A and B are shown apart, each in its own frame.
Chain A
């Protein structure tokens, strides 16, 4: 595997479910990001981890819970989501604050 990978690519969940999104980067970077992408809106930065420490948390609802166990892996734990949380969730990585490399995203649908 090369670059940034994300699993699953598609996820449908009910409002009472608990699920997790996984991101893995194979680039040796020290920073990882979660973004939310909705149609016709700017990308919304959710969380940033640098050297496994959370450095940004942009007022994201607590129903989204990130976890960064090491510099190569990033998770986004989801629980009791709302239909308006349906979107494409993108993971990215970078070396320091340089160019961000993105994964293909997880298309999330909340019923």
Chain B
């Protein structure tokens, strides 16, 4: 079956530091890959996505590249802000209204 593995958290960074959250996946076929963000007390928001190999998803300064050769979709941001403090979920979808598989989530705390 499909699976998503994320780096363990929590991750604590100082403001303006570089962020990487690792995500690797196992899937048959060619899934779409996603990063969702959950701010404290809120639901999940789509942060970015990529639908095929070598696609780069980007939003709000965050980026992730779909690497089929390494089955990875690492999330990066060059300079984090306190407002980026949240839980980040990596996910994959096989498409066709099939079940989305989520990683365990990585909590990010950014301190001033």
A and B form one complex:
no
Which residue numbers of A lie inside 8 Å of B, CB to CB?
none
